[in-house]
């Protein structure tokens, strides 16, 4: 299966070491209640409406030939004069993505950067990630994987030969708390992390700090857990950007 991409961020300094290109893939098997990329959750193309941009001109209704059941043809997004309509998700071949990633190779080499595959959960697509990562590695580009780790270990085994860094989320250590926040317990996530440590990969643990969820004792436990394993630990601040994107997706459902 070819995963869809919902964003490509070039010259990023927040998606791993150095300057990087971050490629964000759609589809996720967690359901974090604070998700700041709600457009990443579904693996399919989605239509969104940025209500704050809409000027009410009605062009979208004029051009649409499927007003009762959207077929995601994109005509309204192409014709909207205010760029208020947006399609989330586009298919790229591994060669197309490799070409985009390659364009900034000099930045990566000068800063110890590279490419980061992110999401959503990019590790839902291990064959595609391995294919793309191999192309990058063969071009001298370092590959990092940004993952929540909630996938079978066999998925990691496919990407391990081509990646040298993992940005690995720990949102909570307590299984019940993890389930309450994300919809899944963390047994598999922590098992995979132990295996990654044994594999000798560079690992950066990342914890989104969510007020009222994991910003108290739980955060201290996560810090101690990382310290015991000698793992680099980064805290990600909570921001509400996901709310406006969620609203854009939901606005379409209420037209
Ligand atoms: S979404 Fe775009 S085309 Fe539709 S009414 Fe708003 S501004 Fe006009
Ligand atoms: S994408 Fe826009 S134009 Fe196409 S079917 Fe959906 S609402 Fe209509």
**Per-residue pLDDT tens for 87-107?**
999 999 999 999 999 999 999
Phi/psi region, residue 89 (left: phi>0; alpha: psi -120 to 50; beta: rest), is left
Residue 69 class from Cβ within 10 Å (0-12 exposed, 13-18 middle, 19+ buried)? exposed
- Ligand closest to CA 75: 2
Looking at ligand 2, which atom is closest to the CA of residue 87? 1
pLDDT of amino acid 252: 66
**16, HSE (Cβ side, Cα atoms, 13 Å):** 30
- Give dist(CA 90, CA 211) in Å, integer: 33
- Give dist(CA 192, CA 154) in Å, integer: 10
183 alpha carbon, distance to own chain's centre: 17
Instruction: Give the mean pLDDT of 18-45.
Output: 95
- Give dist(CA 232, CA 111) in Å, integer: 19
Full set of structural domains in the chain with CATH: 4-43+90-240 (3.20.20.70), 46-88 (no CATH)
Q: Tell me the three state secondary structure of residue 148.
A: coil
Does any ligand 1 atom lie closer than 6 A to the CB of residue 57?
Answer: yes
Lowest mean pLDDT among 57-61, 66-70, 88-92, 251-255: 251-255
> Per-residue pLDDT tens for 74-89?
999 999 999 999 999 9
**Both tokens of residue 213?**
């969820």
Q: Tell me the three state secondary structure of residue 168.
A: strand
The helix (run of H) or strand (run of E) holding residue 10 is: strand 4-12
- Pocket around ligand 2: residues whose beta carbon is below 6 Å from it? 47, 63-64, 66, 70-76
Helix axes 126-138, 94-102, angle to 10 degrees: 40
Beta-carbon contacts of residue 56 (< 8 Å; ≥ 6 apart): none
Confidence of residue 194 (pLDDT cuts 50, 70, 90): very high
Q: Is the pLDDT of residue 219 over 80?
A: yes
Does any ligand 1 atom lie closer than 6 A to the CB of residue 251?
Answer: no
46, 62, 66: which to mutate for ligand 2, most atoms within 8 A of CB?
66
């Amino acid at each position: 299966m070819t995963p869809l991409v919902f964003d490509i961020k070039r010259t990023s300094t927040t998606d791993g070491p150095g300057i990087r290109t971050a490629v964000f893939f759609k589809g996720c098997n967690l359901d974090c209640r604070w998700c700041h990329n709600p457009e990443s959750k579904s693996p399919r193309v989605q239509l969104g409406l940025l209500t704050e941009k809409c000027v009410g001109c009605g062009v979208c209704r004029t051009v649409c030939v499927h007003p009762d059941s959207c077929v995601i043809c994109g005509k309204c997004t192409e014709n909207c004069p205010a760029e208020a309509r947006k399609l989330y998700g586009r298919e790229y071949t591994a060669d197309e993505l490799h070409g985009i990633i390659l364009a900034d190779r000099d930045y990566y080499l000068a800063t110890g950067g590279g490419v980061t595959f992110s999401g959503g959960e990019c590790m839902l697509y291990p064959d595609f990630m391995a294919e793309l990562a191999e192309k990058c590695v063969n071009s001298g580009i370092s590959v990092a994987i940004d993952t929540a780790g909630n996938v079978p270990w066999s998925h990691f085994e496919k990407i391990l030969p081509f990646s040298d860094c993992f940005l690995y989320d720990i949102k909570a250590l307590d299984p019940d708390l993890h389930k309450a926040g994300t919809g899944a317990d963390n047994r598999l996530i922590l098992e995979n992390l132990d295996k990654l440590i044994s594999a000798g990969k560079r690992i950066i643990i990342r914890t989104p700090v969510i007020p009222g969820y994991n910003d108290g004792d739980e955060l201290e436990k996560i810090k101690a857990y990382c310290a015991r394993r000698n793992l680099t630990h980064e805290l990600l601040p909570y921001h509400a950007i996901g709310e406006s994107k969620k609203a854009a997706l939901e606005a379409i459902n209420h037209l």
